[in-house]
Amino acid sequence: MVPGRSFNMTATDLAIDVSGVTKKFGARTVVNDIAMQVRYGEIYGFLGPNGSGKTTFLRMLCGLLTPDGGSGQCLGLDFRRESAEIKKRVGYMTQRFSFYEDLTIEENLDFIARLYSMPQRKAAVEKSLERLGMVERRRQLAGTLSGGWKQRLALAACLIHEPQLLLLDEPTAGVDPKARRDFWEEIHKLAVGGLTVLITTHYMDEASRCHRLAYIAYGKLLARGSVDEVIKAGGLTTWEVKGENLWELADKIRGSPGVEQVVAFGTTLHVSGRDTQKLEASIAPFNSGIHHWTKIEPGLEDVFISLMETAKDNFT
C-alpha cells in the first residue's frame, strides 16, 4: 500500500480504473476480461509469462491498440474514446531500444521533444539530461551506449513531456544489477513526486519493490494485491529441503499426491502444494536423516510458478 493512502479507493484516487478489457487477434483472446485499479502515485507491478498479454494490455491503455471490449478511465479520461488525449499524458517505454543509434543522446531527446511540440524544447532537453545524470554523455552516440545507459536514455525520453503515468514494459531486461538498482531508485523517487507507474517485469525482487501487483497468464488475471496478499491468496504450503542427492529426491516425489511443484532454489529444493495433508503424507517417507526438511513461508516465485503451471494456454 502507498504510504499515507487509505485502502478504500474512490474514483478520484485512481489513475487507472478499467474493467472488462478484452482483445482478440483472430480466434485467439489475448486479453480476457481484465479489470485493474491503480492509485495515483503508486508503483503497480504487472507480471506474467511471455505471451500472457501484458504488452497488449499496456498498448490498449495508452491508445496504441483498440480494445474489443471494456470500459473505464485512465487519468480521468475514457480510455477508449479519449485515447488521443491520454497519449499526451503517458510515457511509454517499450521492451526494445527504439531510438536513433546514429544520433547523440541530446539529439534523440530533442527529437522526442519536437514530437510532443514542446514550446521550451531546449530547456526540456537540458532538464532531462540533468535529471538522469547524462549531461557529460550528451554528445555520445546512442548506438555506443551500454544496456544501462540505453535504459536511462529511454526513461529520459518517457519523462521529457512531464507525463502523469509511466507504462514500462520490462525496462530492466538485459541490464546489470547495479543499473537495475539505480533504475528502481529513480522510479521510487518519481512515485514519491506523484507519478504513477505501471511496470511489467519477470524479476521477483523487482516485483517485491512494487506497492501492489497483478499476475496475468494466457490473457486472464489470476491474482492481484500487495505482495503479502498475493502470497496468502496462493494458498501454498511450502517445504524447503537440504541435503544430498536432491535431484534424485525431486524425481521420486514429483507428481506425488499433493505435490504440485518441486523447484530448485540454489542448493535447496522447494516442495509446494495446496492440499497440506496430501503434501505432507507424500513427503513423510523421505523425511529421514539424509535430508533436512523445514516448513517455510512460500515466496512470490513459488506462487507465480504455481499459477503459471495451473493456467490454461490460450494459444489455440
| pLDDT the model gives residue 230 | 94
Q: What are phi and psi of 192, to 5 degrees?
A: -60, -35
Residue 6's pLDDT is what?
A: 38
Grid cell listed for 62: 495508452
**Same-domain pairing of 139 and 187:** yes
User: Are 154 and 259 in the same domain?
Assistant: no
Contacts of 66 (CB under 8 A, 6+ apart): 60, 80
Q: Which helix (H) or strand (E) holds 14?
A: strand 14-25
Model pLDDT, residue 7:
41
Among candidate residues 211, 230, 249, the one where a domain is terminated: 230
3-state helix, strand, coil in the chain (%, to 5): 35, 30, 35
Q: What is the CATH number of the domain that holds 274?
A: 3.30.70.330
Q: Do 271 and 166 share a structural domain?
A: no
Please provide the DSSP assignment of 255-297 as one string.
TSTT--EEEEETTEEEEEES-HHHHHHHHGGG-STTEEEEEE-
| CA geometry: angle 75, 173, 47, nearest 5 deg | 50
pLDDT above 70 covers a percentage of the chain that reads 95
Do 119 and 218 have their domain in common? yes
How many domains does one find in the chain?
2
Residues 80 and 127 in one domain: yes
Give 24's contacts (C-beta < 8 A, 6+ positions apart). Answer: 30, 68
Please give the pLDDT value at position 96: 79
Residues 6+ apart with CB under 8 A from 186: 132, 155
To which H or E segment does residue 46 belong? strand 43-47
User: 270: closest CA among 307, 223, 310, 236?
Assistant: 236
List of E strands, 172-260: 196-200, 212-217, 220-225, 237-243
pLDDT recorded at residue 11: 57
State pTM to two decimals. 0.88
Quote the pLDDT of residue 50.
85
Instruction: Report the pLDDT value the prediction gives residue 5, as an integer from 0 to 100.
Output: 38
The answer to whether 128 touches 112, Cβ cutoff 8 Å, is: no
End position of a domain, from candidates 230, 245, 275: 230
**Residue 307 belongs to a domain:** no
Report yes or no on 43 lying in a domain. yes
What is the pLDDT, as a whole number, of residue 41?
Answer: 96
Distance between first and last Cα of the chain: 38
Taking only the tens of pLDDT, the chain with its 316 residues reads 333 333 455 557 899 999 999 999 998 999 999 999 999 999 999 998 888 899 999 999 998 999 999 999 999 999 999 999 999 999 999 887 778 999 999 999 999 999 989 889 999 999 999 988 899 999 999 999 988 899 899 999 999 999 999 999 999 887 888 888 989 999 999 999 999 999 998 888 899 999 999 999 989 999 999 999 999 999 999 999 999 889 999 999 999 999 999 999 989 999 999 999 999 999 999 987 789 999 999 999 999 888 887 776 665 5
Residues 97 and 133 in one domain: yes
Residues of the domain holding 255: 237-297
Please check whether residue 258 lies inside any domain of the structure: yes
3-state secondary structure of 233: helix
pLDDT confidence of residue 49? 86
For the domain that residue 37 is a member of, what is the CATH number? 3.40.50.300
pLDDT at residue 138 in the model: 94
Residue 242 lies in a domain: yes
